[in-house]
Amino acid sequence: MSAIVKLMLIAIAAVPGILTCIVPERGTRFGDFAKRSNVVLRVQANATFQNQASANRYEATFQVTGLFPSKSGGFQPGDRVTVGPFGPAPRCTPVSAGSQYILFLRRYPVGTGFTYGLRYNPISLTRRTVFFFGRLLAGKITGRHFMVSGCRELARPRNGKVQCTRESDYLDRAQTFHGDITNHRNIFFWDDKTKGVEILLAKATNSRRYKTPVLAFANWLQTSTYKIPGGMVWLNYRGANMHTANVAFLSLQAAELADRESDTLCFLNFSTTQLGFLTGSRSSQGYVVGLGLNSPRNPHHRASSCPPEPAACSRDAISQGSTNAHVLYGALVGGPDQFGRYVDRASDYLRNEVAIDFNAGFQSLVAGAKHWEMRAQAKKSQSGT
């Protein structure tokens, strides 16, 4: 297929840099767009639009940036899709230059080949768009290393949209998807966000249906979960510190939902105590690189391990056994085993691995602890004590 494919539609140029397109049928939902289209592409609008000689006639070029299963129609990332020329059309939707969109194309047979027309107007790649694609393609992604579970991935963005827009449809769907979750655990991380979903639903609805399990989980963390010597929560051998930080962050959230002030203070104390274990302020060993004298110096991280230039950098640097040449400030390492044993060695990926998801909950925990500290200071200031 040619890299430039001509697509014809009727539209009007509103102002330079903005294109307006025909509106789809009233009541058509995003999932219907994809189901009824032969080709669905993720594209980026070019920064400029070419004005043709005739008045009010423009054409715009989109660059393909992504494809969707069985909807690519032979396109490849990097192909250009030219839409136009355009003429007047009422009731249109703007398309901004440089923004990400979804194009819904219809394939027409021409001779021995095909041409393509725009079936629906380009849809901005917003949270709503991503969610509907999640629903449309749920259960259709497979692969050796694809390990994400489904329903909680759909419930969580609905919660986020509820908080931003207060649209009841999002809340209803989030509650429906939450009801479909059957295999959750007493844990919170990238592949099991059930506890986080319950907290968001509890805040959005103030319903005991969600508050009760949230508060029960926070109490369980206090009294029944496994802790290594010293008192730090330990939930999983892989990313032990990540799991500690994540549930400590959830405990901060539960403090806002507690019915009694004593529970609020108990949940806050648990979170700040766990934060102290991670930073090393409550133990002889910290787990945040570059934070204090007792912090790790050898995270499992190639760039941190590699010697300064002009020396060559390779994956072998991690296994050399010497102290890392560079400090990866702020990284939370994997953490101790179930007996509290920890060795600061770069080659030990279980104890010294670093990752973005390791730091996500930790940074949220730090921000949340600071938030509660500032609230306490403000309350103290207002009371004049």
pLDDT tens digits, 286-297 = 999 999 999 999
List, for residues 291-336, the tens digit of each pLDDT value.
999 999 999 998 899 888 888 888 788 887 789 999 999 999 999 9
Closest CA to 20 of 80, 60, 66: 60
DSSP 181-241: -----S--BTTB-HHHHHHHHHHHH--HHHHHHHHHHHHHHHHTS-B-TTS-B---STTHH
- Sheet hosting strand 12-15, strand order edge to edge: 12-15, 18-21, 93-96
Kindly tell me if the per-residue pLDDT of 130 is higher than 70. no
373 annotated active-site: no
Q: Are 359 and 334 in contact (CB under 8 A)?
A: no
Level-2 CATH architecture, domain 4-125: Beta Barrel (2.40)
Catalytic residue chosen out of the listed positions 59, 79, 198, 344 = 344
Alpha-carbon dihedral angle through residues 119, 121, 122, 123, given to the nearest 10 degrees: -110
Q: Answer with the residue of higher pLDDT: 155 or 3.
A: 155
What residue spans of 24-126 are helical by DSSP H? 30-36
Q: Which residues 6+ apart lie within 8 Å of 245 measured at CB?
A: 274, 275, 278, 332, 358, 361, 362, 364, 365
Per-residue pLDDT, 266: 97
In the CATH hierarchy, which fold is given to the domain comprising 222-383?
Glycosyltransferase (1.50.10)
Catalytic residue (choose from 59, 353, 357, 373): 353
* % of the chain with per-residue pLDDT over 70: 64
DSSP symbol at 145: T
Q: Could you read off the pLDDT of 331-379 as tens digits, one per residue?
A: 999 999 999 999 999 999 999 999 999 999 999 999 999 999 999 999 8
Q: What angle do CA 146, 278, 267 make, to 5 degrees?
A: 90
Q: What angle do CA 21, 23, 28 make, to 5 degrees?
A: 140
**SS3 at position 176:** helix
DSSP H or E stretch at residue 173: helix 168-179
353 is catalytic: yes
Intrachain domains 4-125 and 222-383 with the same fold: no
Per-residue pLDDT reduced to its tens digit, 185-201? 899 998 888 899 899 99
* Cβ count near 17 (within 10 Å): 15
Question: pLDDT, tens digit, for every residue of 195-246?
Answer: 998 999 999 999 999 999 999 999 999 999 999 999 999 999 999 999 999 9
- pLDDT at position 182 over 80: no
- pLDDT of residue 129 exceeding 70: no
The domains of the chain are located at 4-125, 222-383
